[in-house]
Chains A and B, each alone.
Chain A
Amino acid sequence: MPSLKDLRNRINSVKATRKITKAMQMVAAAKLRRAQEAAEASRPYAERMDMVLANLAKGVANPENASPLLVGTGKEDTHLLIMMTAERGLCGGFNSNIAKLVRQDALQLIKDGKKVKILAVGRKGADNLRRDLGNYITDRVSLAGLKTVGFEQASEIADKVMAGFGDEEFDVCTVYYAQFESVISQKPTGQQLIPARLPEASDDAAAADGHGNASYEYEPEEEVLLDQLLRRNISTQIFRGLLENAASEQGARMSAMDSATRNASDMIDSLTLSYNRQRQAQITKELIEIISGAEAL
């Protein structure tokens, strides 16, 4: 049975912990709002990009001449997996869920006899895979010390990817990040970057937009333009992943810290209860001792 003093210390320490988790939750909530705004603000760019790309891709007649970014290199022996995780922990299952998905896909690819390379963005995911898949991590990008992810980080990663693709270091590139669904749910997803999966240009949507299928003139020619846009699209997609991930991380941290705060409160309640019980028991015991001492006289 812990003494009264022990109990008191315990309660104080749990209270201090609760203060920290509560503060972290509030910080995460503020950051989440900013991350969500950033993700929303980036949407128009990506949507336009998708639309123009889809229109262009539809117009390209002979796929043999099309960019390898769109049709692939013709083989799929080497896969590059870009794993986006956070730089910091204490955000529930966020990092390990992404790492789990990457591990599962990587093991499957290895079993199928493909070569696997992993580009780790963020420290936590790489730490998670270090023990069993450490040898496959070929490159790392650190996001440490950044307040918000900007387009520069996305272009930096995209440049690495493009350079690697140019040197034929891999044939297929997939990016893994957590899709932000809501504060309590973030879904780890894998999205193929190269060869590009373009959204189908739906005629209804285009028509509704007022642009219709207006016959555009292209400068330079369609194939060249498509190739250039596909290159740019890589960084756009990566940027989108980074932003989604940033929002997901804060959402995950917020709900993790919320439940930690709640757990701490429960713990304080039960500790306070046993503290009071024990105090009362001690008073009663002392009283009995005094009374029985008086009776003995």
Chain B
Amino acid sequence: MAGTFKFELVSPERILMSVEAEQVIIPGAEGPFTVLEGHAPVVSTLLPGVIHVTTPSSKQAIFVRFGFAEVTAEQLTVLAERAFIVEEADPRQLDQELDLARKALDDADTDDARLHVSRAIEELKALIDQAA
């Protein structure tokens, strides 16, 4: 079994989540990356997308709009301006995010950004289907 590290998800309003995690996948600004125990220290901004958290007992998906992640060997802290745990989210909230993401796609000016936003939209759609 893989080692665990501390994962904290902090929004401006409160600490949303603080768990021991085995693996966390983060939608980084320069591509998604996976954090395991003992990861090299990184500070990265996040694009809108889904964070996948695997803890020894469960798997969770969290949607974030802008934020950044700070990784050290023992800890991963994600500061997100807007975040919610997908399973607990209200379907309407997801739809709203989807609309926002579509708007972001129209505004996106580089290919990279467009690619990323469309990926986020795909993920969101999949999540909405799952929830429905």
A interface, CB within 8 angstroms of B: 38, 41-42, 44-46, 48-49, 52, 56, 150-151, 154-155, 210-211, 214-220, 225, 228-229, 232, 235-236, 239
Contact = CB atoms under 8 A, between A and B. Distances in A.
B43 A151 contact: no
Contacts of A218: 42-44
A44 B10 contact: yes
Closest 4 A/B residue pairs (Cβ): A219-B44, A41-B14, A214-B41, A151-B12
Given A217-B41, A218-B44, A228-B45, 6 more contacts: A48-B10, A210-B72, A217-B42, A217-B43, A218-B43, A232-B66
B77 interface: yes
A239 B15 CA distance: 16
Contacts of A215: 41
B41 A216 contact: yes
B30 interface: yes
Contacts of A154: 12
A225 B73 CA distance: 21
A42 B28 contact: no
B13 A219 contact: no
A183 to B, nearest CB: 23
A42 B12 contact: yes
A219 B29 contact: yes
Given A217-B43, A220-B30, A151 B79 contact: no
Given A48-B77, A52-B43, A214-B41, A219 B28 contact: yes
Nearest to A152: B82
Interface in B31-47: 40-45
A225 B70 CA distance: 12
A216 B13 contact: no
B4 interface: no
B74 interface: yes
Nearest to B77: A48
Q: What class of interface size applies to chain B in its complex with A?
A: 20 to 34
A38 B45 CA distance: 25
Contacts of B12: 42, 45-46, 151, 154, 235-236, 239
Nearest to B33: A219
B11 interface: yes
Contacts of B28: 219
Contacts of B11: 45, 151
Contacts of A38: 13
A44 B70 CA distance: 14
Nearest to A218: B43
B29 A151 contact: no
Contact of B42 (A46, A49, A216, A236): A216
Nearest to A40: B14
A262 to B, nearest CB: 36
B122 interface: no
Interface in B107-132: none
Contacts of B81: 151, 155, 232, 235
A49 B79 contact: yes
28 contacts: A42-B12, A44-B10, A45-B12, A45-B79, A46-B12, A48-B79, A52-B68, A52-B70, A56-B43, A151-B12, A151-B81, A210-B72, A216-B42, A216-B43, A216-B70, A217-B41, A217-B43, A218-B42, A219-B29, A219-B30, A219-B44, A225-B45, A229-B45, A229-B68, A232-B66, A232-B81, A236-B12, A239-B12
A217 B33 CA distance: 14
A236 B42 CA distance: 22
Contacts of B10: 44-45, 48
Most B Cβ at <10 Å: residue of A52, A215, A219, A239? A219
